[in-house]
Amino acid sequence: MKIIADVDKCTGCDRCKLACSYQLHEGFNVFLSNIEIEKEITGLPLKIYFKAPCIDLPCKKPLCIEFCLEKALEII
């Protein structure tokens, strides 16, 4: 199982990264997140590349999914 993002819904807000850092380290720091998001802002629409290498899902109840207001994340 892993986390994937629907990049058409993702706005690049980074809430999932903050949630992940809190889940793993009990602090809000995007640099301590398992999630990588690259935003290509040279043109419109915004292009998002999302990567969360959580193949074995360390979190029983992933906060990254709960924090995403756009409902862009899911477990497959």
Give the per-residue contact string, 40-59, with ligand SF4 (x = CB under 6 A; - = no).
Answer: ------------x-x--xxx
The partner residues of 53 in beta bridges, in order of sequence, read none
What's the CA gap between 71 and 58, in Å, rounded?
20
Per rule CB under 6 A, is residue 4 in the interface with ligand SF4?
no
Which one of 12, 30, 32, 51 is in contact with ligand SF4 (CB under 6 A)?
12
d(CA 40, CA 29): 22
Q: What residue type is 37 in one-letter code?
A: I
Asked whether position 13 contacts ligand SF4 by CB under 6 A, the answer is: yes
Which amino acid belongs to residue 54?
C
Q: Which parts of 20-39 interact with ligand SF4 (CB under 6 A)?
A: 20, 23-24, 34-35, 37
